[in-house]
C-alpha cells in the first residue's frame, strides 16, 4: 500500500476527532484537558504515518515491540517522546531503554532489576492487573502486592517510577475497572507522593478512563485505523 499519499487528511481528521472527544470527556469529568496526555499508539504503522502525525503536532508516540520502536524512534525529531507499552522481554530491555522515554508495562522484579542495572533514565509505570472474571493473563502486578513491589523498585532499585498503568480486562465494564486503578493509585500515593501518572484507556474506552482520572491515554486505531 502507498503510505503517505492522502494519509495526512485522514490522520488529521481522526486526530482532531479524538482530541475533541478527550476535551469533552475532560469537561464532563470536571477536569482540565491539560492533565491528559494523548499517547498515539503507532504500532504496526509505517514511519511516514508517524512523521505525518508529528507535523500535526503529536509528540507522544507508543510502540509495543522493540523491533519496531528501535527503528522508528531515531527517524523522528528528538523532541518526540516514545512510550513502550508492550509485553517486556528480558533480552530486549537493553535496546528498549535506548529509545523509550517512558515504559508503561513493568510488572516483573527481574525486569526491574535489569532496567536498574542498565542505569536507565526512562520514566517507569507499573502495570497493575485489574480484577478479571475471565482470568485472562494480560500482565500486571497483583494489586495486593503492589506496595511491596514499589518498595523494591523505588526504594531499593532507584527506578524513576512515575505511576501505574492498566489494560481493562475483557468482559468487565471499563469504568469501574479504571476507578479501581485510580483507588489503587491513590492508596500507594500516600506512601510515594511523587507518583503522578495513571495510564489507562485505549480507543474503545478512553472516555471512561478520563472520567476515572487517567493522566495518559493510549490511542491507536481511532487515529490510525484498524491494524
Ligand atoms: C495496542 C495497544 C493500545 C492501543 O489500542 P487501540 O485499541 O488501537 O487504541 C493501547 N495500549 C496497549 C497496551 C496496547 O497494546
One digit per residue, the tens of pLDDT, for the chain of length 227 reads 445 568 999 999 999 999 999 999 999 999 999 999 999 999 999 999 999 999 999 999 999 999 999 999 999 999 999 999 999 999 999 999 999 999 999 999 999 999 999 999 999 999 999 977 666 677 899 999 999 999 999 999 989 999 999 999 888 899 999 999 999 999 999 999 999 999 999 999 999 999 999 999 999 999 999 98
The residue to mutate among 22, 220, 225, having the most atoms of ligand 1 within 8 angstroms of its beta carbon, is 220
The residue to mutate among 22, 53, 62, having the most atoms of ligand 1 within 8 angstroms of its beta carbon, is 62
Q: Distance from the CA of 121 to the center of ligand 1, in angstroms?
A: 24
Please, what sign has the CA dihedral across residues 19, 163, 201, 74? positive
Residue 166 near ligand 1, beta carbon < 6 Å: no
Residue 202 near ligand 1, beta carbon < 6 Å: yes
Residue 223 near ligand 1, beta carbon < 6 Å: no
What structural domains and CATH numbers belong to the chain? Answer: 7-224 (3.20.20.10)
Residue 218 near ligand 1, beta carbon < 6 Å: yes
Burial 189-216 (b: 16+ CB within 10 A, else e): eeeeeebebbbbbbbebbbbbbbbbbbb
State the closest ligand 1 atom to the C-alpha of 227, by its place in the atom list counted from 1.
8
Q: Distance from the CA of 220 to the center of ligand 1, in angstroms?
A: 6
Interatomic CA distance for residues 103 and 83, integer angstroms = 6
Asked if 157 contacts 112 with a C-beta cutoff of 8 angstroms, the reply is yes
Q: Distance from the CA of 203 to the center of ligand 1, in angstroms?
A: 7
Asked if 61 contacts 82 with a C-beta cutoff of 8 angstroms, the reply is yes
**Global confidence as pTM:** 0.96
Amino acid at each position: 500500500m502507498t503510505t503517505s499519499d492522502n494519509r495526512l487528511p485522514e490522520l488529521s481528521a481522526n486526530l482532531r476527532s479524538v482530541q475533541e472527544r478527550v476535551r469533552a470527556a475532560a469537561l464532563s469529568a470536571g477536569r482540565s484537558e491539560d492533565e491528559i496526555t494523548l499517547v498515539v499508539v503507532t504500532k504496526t504503522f509505517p514511519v511516514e504515518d508517524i512523521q505525518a502525525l508529528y507535523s500535526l503536532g503529536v509528540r507522544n508516540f507508543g510502540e509495543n515491540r522493540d523491533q519496531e520502536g528501535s527503528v522508528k524512534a531515531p527517524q523522528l525529531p528528538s523532541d518526540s517522546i516514545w512510550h513502550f507499552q508492550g509485553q517486556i522481554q528480558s533480552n530486549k530491555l537493553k535496546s528498549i531503554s535506548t529509545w523509550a522515554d517512558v515504559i508503561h508495562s513493568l510488572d516483573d522484579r527481574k525486569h526491574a532489576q535489569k532496567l536498574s542495572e542498565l542505569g536507565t533514565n526512562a520514566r517507569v509505570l507499573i502495570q497493575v492487573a485489574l480484577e478479571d472474571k475471565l482470568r485472562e493473563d494480560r500482565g500486571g502486578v497483583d494489586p495486593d502486592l503492589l506496595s511491596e513491589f514499589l518498595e523494591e523498585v523505588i526504594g531499593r532499585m532507584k527506578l524513576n517510577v512515575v505511576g501505574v498503568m492498566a489494560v481493562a480486562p475483557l468482559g468487565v465494564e471499563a469504568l469501574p475497572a479504571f476507578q479501581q486503578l485510580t483507588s489503587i493509585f491513590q492508596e500507594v500515593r500516600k506512601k510515594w507522593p511523587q507518583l503522578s501518572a495513571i495510564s489507562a484507556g485505549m480507543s474503545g474506552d478512553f472516555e471512561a478512563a478520563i472520567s476515572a482520572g487517567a493522566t495518559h491515554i493510549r490511542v491507536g486505531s481511532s487515529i490510525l485505523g484498524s491494524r
